[in-house]
């Protein structure tokens, strides 16, 4: 019977539909600014999401283009990718500031319940720290950045999801064993990353991920739900719960 002490959240696709509403349009705007005739459709982006990391995703895309020529003014591919990605991050944070990336159902409620019940909070994400700060500050308010004892993000760890590094980083800095925590994710890559550390993991699916393999998940639901908007249960045991709250989190952690 492990006591619940902390919740560790993925960001993209879990706290908010950032891939659809933020990252993909930001990539396309950065490509246009660079004079590139590249455009990632919703479908094409879904395929590219197999690769964790925005810089890594651009590189994978370029490697799929045999006719690619390094634009003038760049000494090497890494420098070119870094500059494209920096422009993309500028647009992503701008979209967050404009309020174009709302939180998913139940996220704000669950975070506030956790704070009210002294359940500690952490983040384990692949995305760039600036994106996390912009999303939280422009959805929950600047002070919400302090709600999370650890924000493990981007290049802070050597290997990106599905490697366990970023969840290990969060657990180390929380100084807690996985059995006292729950992970929240939306992708198979993220699930593999979290479960390799021993974390029981809750999956909230989305349009990009609902067909992925979540057999290692403790629970798979449509979203965290609200009292007036119940979640859809996909797999796992929630008893008669209609939305994900701290009581259900404790039950799952103690099981
Ligand atoms: C998902 C990712 C990120 C984003 C893009 O992160 O793979 O790379 O798609 O963000 P998460 P960057 O672990 O939160 O699901 O361009 O900043 O990498």
Decide if 236 contacts 219 (C-beta within 8 A).
Answer: yes
Nearest atom within ligand 1 for CA of residue 85: 16
pLDDT beyond 90 at 226: yes
> What residues does 151 pair with on adjacent strands?
123
**Checking DSSP bridges between strand 148-153 and strand 181-185, what pairing results, if any?**
unpaired
DSSP string, 105-136: TTHHHHHHHHHHTT-EEEEEESS-HHHHHHHH
Ligand 1, atom 7: nearest CA belongs to which residue? 52
Which residues does the annotation mark as catalytic? Answer: 10, 12
pLDDT beyond 90 at 231: yes
Write the CB contacts of 198 (distance below 8 Å, at least 6 apart in sequence): 177, 178, 179
Ligand 1, atom 5: nearest CA belongs to which residue? 54
How is residue 152 written in tokens?
């493990």
Report the mean per-residue pLDDT for the chain.
Answer: 97
**Residues recorded for the chain:** 255
Decide if 27 contacts 20 (C-beta within 8 A).
Answer: no
Q: Is the CB of 96 under 6 A from ligand 1?
A: no
Q: For ligand 1, pick from 127, 148, 164 the residue to mutate: most ligand atoms within 8 Å of CB.
A: 127
Distances (CA, A) of 159 to 64, 116, 141, 163, 169: 22, 34, 30, 6, 11
Q: Is the CB of 24 under 6 A from ligand 1?
A: no
DSSP secondary structure code for residue 232 in this structure = P
- Per-residue pLDDT, averaged over 145-162, amounts to 97
Q: For ligand 1, pick from 126, 151, 160, 201 the residue to mutate: most ligand atoms within 8 Å of CB.
A: 126
- Per-residue pLDDT, averaged over 106-129, amounts to 98
Q: Is the CB of 165 under 6 A from ligand 1?
A: no
Q: How confident is the model at residue 166 (pLDDT cuts 50, 70, 90)?
A: very high
Instruction: Tell me which residue of 97, 122, 96, 127 sits closest to 111, measured CA to CA.
Output: 122
- Per-residue pLDDT, averaged over 151-158, amounts to 95
pTM above 0.85, yes or no: yes
Please count the other Cβ atoms lying within 10 Å of the Cβ belonging to residue 50.
12
How is residue 214 written in tokens?
């979540």
Cα 241 to averaged position of ligand 1 atoms, centre (Å)? 31
pLDDT beyond 90 at 1: no
Nearest atom within ligand 1 for CA of residue 13: 15
19-60 tens-digit pLDDT: 988 999 999 999 999 999 999 999 999 999 999 999 999 999
- Per-residue pLDDT, averaged over 155-177, amounts to 97
Beta strands in the chain (DSSP E): 6-9, 120-125, 148-153, 181-185, 200-204, 219-221, 233-235
3-20 tens-digit pLDDT: 999 999 999 999 999 998
Helix then strand count (H, E) for the chain reads: 10, 7
Torsions phi, psi for 17 (to 5 deg): -80, 60
The span from the CA of 84 to the CA of 217, in Å, is: 35
What is the model's pLDDT at position 211?
96
Cα 232 to averaged position of ligand 1 atoms, centre (Å)? 26
Q: Is the CB of 11 under 6 A from ligand 1?
A: yes
Write the CB contacts of 161 (distance below 8 Å, at least 6 apart in sequence): 52, 126, 187, 189, 190, 192, 193
Instruction: Tell me which residue of 207, 254, 215, 247 sits closest to 109, measured CA to CA.
Output: 247
- Per-residue pLDDT, averaged over 172-190, amounts to 98
pLDDT beyond 90 at 109: yes
């Amino acid at each position: 019977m492990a006591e619940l002490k902390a919740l560790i959240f993925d960001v993209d696709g879990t706290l908010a539909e950032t891939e659809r509403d933020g990252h993909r349009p930001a990539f396309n705007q950065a490509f246009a600014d660079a004079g590139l005739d590249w455009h990632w459709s919703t479908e094409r982006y879904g395929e590219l999401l197999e690769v964790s990391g925005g810089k890594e995703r651009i590189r994978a895309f370029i490697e799929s283009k045999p006719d690619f020529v390094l634009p003038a003014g760049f000494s090497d591919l890494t420098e070119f990718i870094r500059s494209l990605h920096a422009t993309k991050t500028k647009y992503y944070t701008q979209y967050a500031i404009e309020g174009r990336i709302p939180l998913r159902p139940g996220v704000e409620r669950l975070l506030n319940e956790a704070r009210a019940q002294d359940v500690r909070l952490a983040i384990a994400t692949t995305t760039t720290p600036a994106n996390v700060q912009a999303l939280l500050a422009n959805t929950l308010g600047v002070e919400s950045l302090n709600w999370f004892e650890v924000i493990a993000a981007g290049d802070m760890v050597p290997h990106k999801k599905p490697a366990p590094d970023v969840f290990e980083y969060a657990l180390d800095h929380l100084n807690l064993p996985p059995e006292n925590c729950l992970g929240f994710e939306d992708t198979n890559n993220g699930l593999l990353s979290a479960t390799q550390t021993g974390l029981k993991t809750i999956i909230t699916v989305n349009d990009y991920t609902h067909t992925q393999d979540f057999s290692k998940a403790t629970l798979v639901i449509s979203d965290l739900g609200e009292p007036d908007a119940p979640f859809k249960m996909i797999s796992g045991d929630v008893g008669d719960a209609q939305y994900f709250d701290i009581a259900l989190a404790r039950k799952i952690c103690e099981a």
